[in-house]
Amino acid sequence: MEAPRAILWDWDNTLVDGWRAITAASNVAFAAFGLPTWTETETRARAVGSIRDTFPKLFGPDWERARALFFEAFDSLHLDWLRSMPGAEAALVVAAAWPQGIVSNKTGHYLRREVAHLRWESRFGALVGAGDASADKPHPAPIWHALTMIGMRPDPTIWYVGDTGSDIRAARAAGCTAVLLGDASHEGGIEGLRTRGSEPDLHYADASALAARLRALRGDAASLD
């Protein structure tokens, strides 16, 4: 396997666990509109797009009011409940052999605030969130935007690592290698992704497994210098 030239990462459920805050803030908006609230498991399965793409479908013409309620709640608690995913920081250390960036459907200023909270800013040459590009994932625009920021063009040596079918589709649409992290159980597993045309190019069970593979590839690349 050829080593990547750069690695782009999804954020939520790939490098960090922020679902507790996302669920709580979503439920504030749902309650205000008299809609059923979601469990964290339901949020993980259903919140697969950016707010500007999903809220109009959930709340109709009043979606901007729902968005304001969500952000008011989210702003007060998201940093307190933010946690890195198991093995994520170790994977980022190994991946520092290559240029790295984040492409997330989390609103851009919240993404950057969370990266700063974890003191990870120096790891990334690009931090692209929802609203930072002309469209959000699964459109390829945010991946292309991140690559422009780090001075690279899309091709299969660019890895995009994420946990959802939306991430897989975005990577493929951008012309990059789609790397699935985790079991995609919230989307019916690998078979569920396959039936939706979202089968990954590469798959690693968790961040530790990915780190081990990157460590080997880093050694292979260094031996060619």
pLDDT digits (tens, 9 = 90+) for 78-94: 999 999 999 999 999 99
Question: What rounded mean pLDDT belongs to the chain?
Answer: 93
Task: Assess if residue 1 is contained within a domain.
Answer: no
Write 17-20 long-range contacts (CB < 8 A, 24+): 17/82, 17/83, 17/84, 17/85, 18/78, 18/81, 18/82, 18/83, 18/106, 18/114, 19/43, 19/44, 20/81
Residues 95, 191, single domain; the answer is yes
Domain closes at, from 77, 98, 113: 77
In a domain, 149, yes or no: yes
Here the tokens at position 48 are 């697969």
Say whether pLDDT at 98 is over 70: yes
Residue range 57-62: mean pLDDT, rounded = 95
Domain of 153 in residue numbering reads as 6-17+83-223
Number of domains in the chain: 2
Q: Last residue of some domain: 40, 57, 77? A: 77
Residues 24 and 103 in one domain: no
Could you tell me if 136 and 47 lie in one domain?
Answer: no
Same domain for 128 and 28: no
Q: Same domain for 128 and 106?
A: yes
User: What is the pLDDT, as a whole number, of residue 225?
Assistant: 41
* pLDDT confidence of residue 49: 80
Q: Are residues 154 and 180 in the same domain?
A: yes
How much of the chain, in percent, has pLDDT values that exceed 70?
A: 97
Last residue of a domain, one of 77, 93, 108: 77
The percentage of residues in the chain with a pLDDT greater than 90, rounded to a whole number, is 83
Whole-number Å distance between alpha carbons of 53 and 155: 27
Q: Are residues 188 and 154 in the same domain?
A: yes
Band (220; pLDDT cuts 50, 70, 90): low
Q: Are residues 57 and 128 in the same domain?
A: no
pTM: 0.87
Band (1; pLDDT cuts 50, 70, 90): low
Tokens representing 41?
A: 């498991």
pLDDT in tens, 124-166: 999 999 999 999 999 999 999 999 999 999 999 999 999 999 9
Q: Are residues 155 and 112 in the same domain?
A: yes
